Amino acid sequence: MLIRSRGMPAKKDNSVGPFGEFEEDREGGGNLDAQIESLLNVEKQMRNAGDVAGTKKAVIDILQLCFEAKAWKTLNDQILLLSKRRGQLKQATTAMVQRAMEYIDQTPDLETKIDLIKTLNTVSAGKIYVEIERARLIKKLAKIKEEQGLIAEAADLMQEVAVETFGAMAKTEKIAFILEQVRLCLDRQDYVRAQILSRKISPRVFDADTSKEKKKPKEGEAIVEEAPADIPSLLELKRIYYELMIRYYSHHNDYLEICRCYKAIYEIPSVREDPAQWIPVLRKICWYLVLSPHDPMQSSLLNSTLEDKNLSEIPNFRLLLKQLVTMEVIQWTSLWAAYEDEFEGEKNLLGGSLVEKAAEDLRQRIIEHNILVVSKYYSRVTLKRLADLLCLSIQEAEKHLSEMVVSKSLVAKIDRPRGIVCFQTAKDSNDILNSWAMNLEKLLDLVEKICHQIHKETMVHKAAFKVGGN
């Protein structure tokens, strides 16, 4: 085969294979442009002949030639040129992008690295057969932007890619990519978009059994690629997911959801096996349970946490939760004196300090607990007596009581002129009629039983009288 290079006479190829002349020329240290031109001619012949292996080898050899010569600008130009050639094979483009991605970490400076990434991003844009490579490129570029302090630009770049639609991408890599999108949104304080992105991940995906062997894909099914080595395992991703959700819910002071996130982290086997990890997490669960508003979900979590045997390792918190389930009034001053040091000490433990409003909200929850306790023991009570029981002024007691009524966590009515609080629930006409009907039914049952007993006693006496008369 004869191959003409720019500015060089034609010569016979004495080596074996279509790339023999290039190998001989390269060993002789020929001009870079001439060698590239020679390989471009080979690539054209292979492409026109439909030779996939030959085209891929020619393309990769061109890139390797530029890389070894450290001609980074030429490398970018050749990548763009090869991708735009008429009828370029998909396999050749994929091989070219994958090989060029190996050079990214070997670039001499940051500017060269960014140029190469942008070039590959341009080539892979809109091509479904290199969508995974494009996602990885954008992730690399976003990391560079973040290191430069351009958080908003990094977040915008990551949001362009919808990896949940990539059938060939490994599940763990998809989750890791989405979590990175969520993290960048939280870093730029875009909480609305962070919530939207987080909903792409179902918490049930973390409960999958990873010990099962992977099934071989059936004929016609897409082959799922292996995740890169730097992608965390599914359980590590679970922890990252819930830590990000804690950041999100902390912004909204949603204590119950924060508690549930810590509960999910607490259930991870690696955490359960290490006391240095689960003790701080269990402390956080207890604190956020106490801070959560009273509702059925909170009560369920509270009781299930009290049954945890590990709680015996932190008896102070067991006592705290026990006070909340016991229907007795809690003195706020004594409680805060006992737990203030524990509260302040959270900032030095795993998970960091509690949210800013936590101390104020803790007092609010204790007051609400005390009001619920009073409502269990009293059907009617004066405002003054209620304020005394709560250790509050009459105005504060009325304010907290009104807030609980508005939030529908308590049913109560206040007679302000008389200063009386009534905790009895108002019944509608249907309830009243139903209670009357039940009372009448009970009354009739009693009358019937009494009549039966009277009739029985009468028969007994008659029988005894007849026996005595004879």
Q: CA-to-CA distance for 460 and 73, rounded, in angstroms? A: 119
**Is the whole model's pTM more than 0.85, yes or no?**
no
Q: In the chain, which stretches have pLDDT less than 70?
A: 1-30, 208-223, 348-352, 355, 426-427, 468-470
Task: Name beta bridge partners: 12.
Answer: 2
Please report, for residues 81, 176, 369, the alpha-carbon distance to residue 122 in angstroms, rounded to integers and kept in the order given: 12, 24, 61
Query: Are the CB atoms for 304 and 316 separated by under 8 Å?
Result: no
The whole-number pLDDT of residue 27 equals: 40
The whole-number pLDDT of residue 182 equals: 93
Q: Output the six-digit token pair for 423.
A: 């905790």
Task: Name beta bridge partners: 420.
Answer: 382, 415
Rama region for 331: left / alpha / beta (φ>0; ψ in -120 to 50; rest) = beta
The whole-number pLDDT of residue 218 equals: 54
Q: CA-to-CA distance for 248 and 203, rounded, in angstroms? A: 15
The whole-number pLDDT of residue 180 equals: 92
Looking at residue 68, its amino acid is E
Task: Supply the Cα-derived Rg of the chain in whole angstroms.
Answer: 38
Looking at residue 164, its amino acid is E
The whole-number pLDDT of residue 184 equals: 92
Query: Are the CB atoms for 88 and 82 separated by under 8 Å?
Result: yes
